[in-house]
Amino acid sequence: MASGLENEFATLHEIVKAAKIRLNANIWDYLIGGTETETTLRRNRMALDSIAFKPRVLRDVSKIDPSSEILGKKIRLPVMLAPVGSLESFETGGGITVAKGAGAANVAMLISSVTTLKLEDIVKGGAGPKIYQLYVRGDDDWVADRVRQAMGAGYDAFCITVDTQVYSRRERDIAKRFVKSWRVAATGQDHQAAFSWENFKRVKDKFPDVKFMLKGIGTGEDADLACRLGVWAVYCSNHGGRQLDHGRGSAAVLPEVVDAVAGRAKVAVDGSFSRGSDIVKAVCLGADWVGLGRLYCYGLAAAGAAGIERVIELLEEEMKEVMGLLGVTSLKQLDKSYVSAAMPTNLPGVHSAFPLLNLEDKGY
Residue 159 domain flag: yes
Instruction: State pLDDT tens for residues 210-240.
Output: 999 999 999 999 999 999 999 999 999 999 9
Instruction: Examine the pLDDT at 362 and tell me if it is beyond 60.
Output: no
Amino acid at position 40, single letter:
T
| 321 within a domain of the structure (yes/no) | yes
Instruction: Specify whether the CB–CB gap between 292 and 79 falls below 8 A.
Output: yes
CA 141 to chain centre: 28
Residue 135 lies in a domain: yes
Residue 4 in domain: no
| 354 part of a folded domain | no
Answer yes or no: are the C-beta atoms of 342 and 37 closer than 8 Å: no
Task: Tell me what pLDDT residue 181 has.
Answer: 75
Residue 341 placed within a domain: no
Query: Is 172 inside a domain boundary?
Result: yes
pLDDT tens sequence across 105-146: 999 999 999 887 889 999 888 888 999 999 999 999 999 999
Residue 299 has pLDDT above 90, yes or no: yes
Q: What is the mean pLDDT of the chain?
A: 95
Domain around 88: 12-327
Residue 352 lies in a domain: no
The total of structural domains in the chain comes to 1
Q: What pLDDT is recorded for position 364?
A: 35
CATH number of the domain bearing residue 176: 3.20.20.70
Q: Look at phi and psi of residue 104 and say left if phi exceeds 0, alpha if psi is from -120 to 50, else beta.
A: alpha
Give pLDDT tens digits for 13-30: 999 999 999 999 999 999
Instruction: Say how far apart CA 295 and CA 357 lie, in whole Å.
Output: 14
Which residues of the chain form beta strands (DSSP E)? Answer: 51-53, 68-70, 73-75, 79-81, 108-112, 130-134, 157-161, 212-217, 233-236, 266-269, 289-292, 339-341
Catalytic residues, by residue number, are 239
Of all residues in the chain, the percent with pLDDT exceeding 70 is: 97
pTM over 0.85: yes
